[in-house]
Amino acid sequence: MKGVSEILKNEKAQQFTRFCIVGVIAAGIHYLVYYLMQMIHSGGVWLSVAYTVGYIVSLVCNFFMTTFFTFRSKVSLGKATGFGVSHVINYTLHIVLSNLFITVGVHRLIAPVLVLMIAVPTNFTILHFVYRKK
């Protein structure tokens, strides 16, 4: 059985750890942009507009952090395309699984946790293949 130090030396485990760090930072950027857009405008910005702008800014930052930090790679059109496709798949997976779990009786506050348990490793696996290609 592998010890914790052996697991942490594994490149894929290190990538997954960096992937999770990037995900937390990207979520923070998304919320920060959303929050600032609500605070800057006296009446607030339409929630959907603020949310979407935050998501787009976060997605761009996420791409560069994922490329340079998570997978220690270089930017390319193929990687940007693969990244975009992985996030469309990831978003779809979130929506489908969330609705599925709620439909079968999982509490609406627990369902997102179960979704993340499936979607995060799935998205990492997809991105691993995107960035592994030469």
Q: How does pLDDT run across 76-97, given as a tens digit for each residue? A: 999 999 999 999 999 999 899 9
pLDDT mean over 39-50: 74
Nearest Cα to Cα of residue 81 among 126, 125, 121, 19: 126
**Cα-based torsion angle of the residue sequence 118, 121, 124, 130 in order, rounded to the nearest 10 degrees:** -70
pLDDT on residue 2: 65
pLDDT mean over 53-64: 95
pLDDT tens figures, 29-44 = 999 998 898 888 766 6
pLDDT on residue 40: 80
Question: Is 6's pLDDT higher than 80?
Answer: no
Instruction: Centre a 10 Å sphere on the Cβ of residue 28 and count the other Cβ atoms it contains.
Output: 12
DSSP code at position 129:
H
